[in-house]
C-alpha cells in the first residue's frame, strides 16, 4: 500500500482524544486516523452503485431457480434458510 501525506485539522479536544486513544490501543495516531477514514468511507458508501464485482452469466435462464439443486449436486448438501 502506497501512503500519501495529507493534512487534517482537528479541534483541540478531538486531537487530545485521538492521542489518548492511540496510546491506549498501542497504535499510531496515523493508523487510528486511517481506520476512521475507512469507517467513514464505508458508512457513506452508496449501496445501489455497482460494487465492481465480476458478473457471471451461466447462459442458463433457470440457473438461479435451480440453485439449491445445483449446490446439492456438489456434495456439500443443500442450503437451508433455517441454518
CA dist 71 to 54, 58, 67, 77, 81, Å?
Answer: 20, 14, 6, 7, 14
Q: Is the pLDDT of residue 15 over 60?
A: yes
According to the model, what pLDDT value does residue 28 have?
97
Q: Is the pLDDT of residue 26 over 90?
A: yes
- Average pLDDT, whole number, for the chain? 85
* pTM of the complete model: 0.55
According to the model, what pLDDT value does residue 71 have?
79
In this structure, what are the phi and psi dihedrals at residue 74, rounded to the nearest 5 degrees? -80, -15
pLDDT band at 80 (very low <50, low <70, confident <90, very high): low
- Burial-class residue 32 by CB neighbours within 10 Å (0-12, 13-18, 19+): middle
Amino acid at each position: 500500500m502506497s501512503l500519501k501525506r495529507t493534512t487534517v485539522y482537528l479541534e483541540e479536544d478531538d486531537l487530545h482524544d485521538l492521542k489518548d486513544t492511540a496510546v491506549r490501543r498501542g497504535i499510531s495516531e496515523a493508523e487510528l486516523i486511517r481506520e476512521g477514514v475507512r469507517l467513514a468511507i464505508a458508512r457513506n458508501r452508496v449501496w445501489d452503485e455497482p460494487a465492481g464485482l465480476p458478473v457471471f452469466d451461466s447462459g442458463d435462464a433457470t440457473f438461479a431457480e435451480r440453485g439449491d439443486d445445483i449446490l446439492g449436486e456438489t456434495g456439500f448438501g443443500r442450503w437451508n434458510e433455517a441454518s
